[in-house]
Amino acid sequence: MSDLNEFSVNENTFKKMLNEKNNSKFKNLSWDEWFENMLSKKSVMIPNMLEKVVRKFYEKDFDEWVTNFAGNLNFIWKESSAGELPIKKNQQMKSAIVIGRGPSLKKFNHLEILAKSDYSGAVVCSDGILKDALESGVNPEKFSNFYVVTTDPYKEQKLLYDHKIIDEFGAKIKGIFSTLMNPDAAKRARESGINIFWLHPLFDYHEGKKSFNKIAALMVRAKNHVQGLPAIQTGGNVGTSAWFVSWQILKCNTVSLIGINHGWEQNDPLELIQSHGHNSNLQILDENDPKFKKLYPTIFNPDFKTFCILDPIFQYYSNALKEFISRSPSHITTINCTEGGSIFGNNITGMYFNQFLDKHPR
Amino acid sequence: MNILKIYMKSNFKITKNDDNVVSKEKKSEKNEELTEEEFEDYMSKAGAVGSFMVFRSNTKKDELGIDSL
């Protein structure tokens, strides 16, 4: 590059660049913003490394997952399949709102805005935000198609259901639960009156006939569920699972996202960022450590003109969710109303939540 | 072959680096690389667990879910 900041590319390269830019959200933005985004894709290395590393963690957790499944099996046989849930056509429900527990929910009062709206589509809560949603007035009495999703297999999920307000509304909530969910968590949800619908989380299906996904499916089919259960990609987290549930299980053509930041605010404490929100006072790297910028890149969201910081786990989640949205069928529209965060790109429309509620009343 | 020249207006100040600075930067970049072991150690300390796993398959369609398993 010369002092004038000029450089040469051949015509074919330029055509490819132009095509890439015009087919992205950057069509009407500057070349600088497009380059910035392309360069940030260097961070893909971390998610790829994480895919390998997480596999090792999974091998440690495998026994617990199998034990959970065994503890749930009698209930799975007695209770419903998530495959029974698709919305009936005569209800004319076309859209779903997925609620994650990202910081944007509080920042933009999205729960309060939703509670005051006349929205009549499906409300799909991730388990971690259920209590807060109900307390904010987002409840099944106001939104009759009200769902909660749990895919994490850990005993801590029980705490998410252990609240009076969940007992109050439980009977009107449909729980879409993973067959690997901790049985005590499922028990607590059941005690609150939540009507449970089961599905399989895919994790080792690719290993063939002797994979646990296959074996578990055969065991479920042995009684009552002869057609089996639906199986979903969890994307590694309940927010992505809820997005899959909305179009794959509930058959909604439009899925909007609130509280799905998959990233941190720039002013969040380093301890919070480095412990992936566990607030554990764990600070592994100093901010000035050269590795810090690699592990925690700051990215620009061109839809909302905001920045966010990704920890490695959010890089992994974010890349996976964006990939799956880009691969979703053409009749599925994903609208990110989080108003920030890391979810933007192919097949994702960024929209302010108020606008979404105006345009998609059901 | 046809060559197009693209003139880029930069929105940052370009400063020329002397050789020493460049070599320091290169050294720093090298140090930034994380080994898989270091990364695993970091993830372990940050509380990573197996349920974070994204399902992958050679049958790409399966990665988006299966209607009835």
Per-domain boundaries in chain A: 27-359
Cβ(B3)–Cβ(A8) below 8 Å? yes
Cβ(A122)–Cβ(A93) below 8 Å? yes
pLDDT score of A228: 97
Closest by CA position to A199, among listed A55, A82, A51, A94: A82
Percent of chain A with pLDDT over 70: 91
pLDDT score of A297: 87
Q: Which residue has the higher pLDDT, A318 or A31?
A: A318
Tell me which of A64-73, A103-112, B3-12, B57-66 is least confident.
Answer: B3-12
Residue B31 — pLDDT band, cuts 50, 70, 90?
very low
Residue A205 — pLDDT band, cuts 50, 70, 90?
very high
| Paired tokens of A217 | 């499916």
Q: Which residue has the higher pLDDT, A260 or A313?
A: A260
Q: Taking residues A10-16, what's their average pLDDT?
A: 80
Which residue of B5, B35, B55, B62 to mutate against A (max A Cβ within 10 Å)? B55
pLDDT score of A55: 74
Report the gap between the CA of A227 and the closest CA in chain B (Å). Answer: 7
Is A11's CB within 8 Å of B2's CB?
yes
Residue A325 — pLDDT band, cuts 50, 70, 90?
very high
Mean of pLDDT over chain A:
89
Contact list in A for residue B66 (CB cut-off 8 A) is: 202, 205, 230-231
| Residue in chain A nearest B11 by alpha carbon | A32
A91 alpha-carbon distance from chain centroid: 26
pLDDT tens digit sequence for A214-228: 999 999 999 999 999
Is A6's CB within 8 Å of B58's CB?
no
Residue B3 — pLDDT band, cuts 50, 70, 90?
low
Contact list in A for residue B2 (CB cut-off 8 A) is: 10-11
| Residue in chain A nearest B49 by alpha carbon | A57
Segment 283-342 of chain A within 8 Å of chain B by CB: 284, 290-291, 293-295, 311-313, 316-317, 320, 324, 327-328
The yes-or-no verdict on residue A62 having pLDDT over 70 is yes
ipTM over 0.90? The verdict is no
Alpha-carbon distance values, A147 to A80, A195, B17, B33 (Å): 14, 10, 58, 43
The yes-or-no verdict on residue B15 having pLDDT over 70 is no
Helix, strand or coil, per DSSP, at residue A302: coil
The yes-or-no verdict on residue A330 having pLDDT over 90 is yes
Is B50's CB within 8 Å of A5's CB?
no
Closest by CA position to A283, among listed A294, A293, A275: A275
The yes-or-no verdict on residue A312 having pLDDT over 50 is yes
Of B50, B60, B67, the CB nearest to A60: B50
Cβ(A261)–Cβ(A341) below 8 Å? yes
What's the pTM? 0.81
pLDDT score of B20: 42
pLDDT tens digit sequence for A241-253: 999 999 999 999 9
Which residue of B12, B25, B31, B51 to mutate against A (max A Cβ within 10 Å)? B51
Q: Taking residues A162-168, what's their average pLDDT?
A: 98
Residue B22 — pLDDT band, cuts 50, 70, 90?
very low
Residue A46 — pLDDT band, cuts 50, 70, 90?
low
